[in-house]
Amino acid sequence: AVTSNLCATLLLIMILVKLGSFMFYRDMIMGLIHFAEKNFWGVTYDEASAQILKGYDKLGMTMIYTFTFMVYIATFNYIFAPFFEPQEKNETEKVLPFKLWIDFPYHSPYYEITYTIQSLSTMHSGICTFCFDNFVSTFNIHAAAQLKILAHKVEVIAEHCIGDTMDQKRPLETDVAVLAFKKLRDCVKQHLRLICYVRNMQRVFAIILLGQLLLSSVVICFGGFQFLFTAQLKILEKILKIFMIVKNIKLKKNNYKLHTKRINIISFSKIFSLTFLFLFKIFPKKFIYCKL
């Protein structure tokens, strides 16, 4: 009973941490939304960029739908478990979704009122559980997609620059350099905007991710302990523990993807450095210094 109540309490603590963090950083979160709406969602993409964005959208929808489904299963398990659990001692004894540790009358209409309140509270807690995480995952996926699109643009610029130089499609190498550097300059500006955007995301979501990481680890430990070493667990309770463990593992995996996005930014900066070094080798240095 202690571990079961502790798991439910930790889930509520997670919700309070996320809600408090979102309220504290409300202005920054609204800024992130406006930036994404202006630079991510309200932009016309070419065919290659649209394909990249479509692939990341599918990945994001799969993650969100899977996590939301698991949360709903766990929520409905709590709500409908009293109707399916066999009563070993008394067939007329009524059970609530969550045990009350006070003397409470279980006859009508008190039982129905208490059951309704607990069920609505459980549904509200389930919605709060996945809405914050889905929000973070959505912005994480879109930021990663923008970095991928920007990396593709840099690759295309380098390929066109090499092709024009080798095929001598333009009369002067300086024309190739001017065109390449204009495009690279736009990419650098976009890259700096994305770096600033990701840093703001890390600042806003750092407390949420840290709390989720720590509390999810504790929930996995207690849920696994109760599933393996408690013989009195009923079938529905075992299913609930499995979904709780899988849900928290899924969250830890999403947090890992947010960390790898930061590594992608560092790798993308190296792409810019290598591109500039390559152009230094091809074109006269004096011209490049003059243009920069």
Find where tokens 């830890």 sit. Answer: 252
Find where tokens 């990396």 sit. Answer: 151
- Closest-CA residue to 133 (of 72, 70, 68): 68
End-to-end CA distance of the chain: 68
CA atoms within 13 A on the CB side of 284: 9
d(CA 10, CA 41): 36
d(CA 165, CA 145): 30
Peptide bond into 97 cis (omega under 30): no
Q: Which two tokens stand for residue 193?
A: 């905007």
d(CA 240, CA 77): 6
Instruction: For the chain, 292 residues long, give each residue's pLDDT as a single digit of tens.
Output: 556 667 777 788 888 888 888 899 999 999 999 998 888 888 888 888 899 889 888 988 888 888 888 888 888 887 887 777 655 445 556 777 777 777 777 777 888 888 899 889 888 888 888 888 888 888 888 888 888 888 888 888 777 776 666 666 555 556 666 777 788 888 888 888 888 888 888 888 888 878 777 777 777 777 666 666 555 555 545 555 555 555 555 555 555 554 554 445 444 444 554 454 444 444 444 444 434 4
The pTM of this model reads: 0.71
Cα dihedral value 146, 150, 151, 153, nearest 10 = 140
Helix, strand, or coil (residue 169): coil
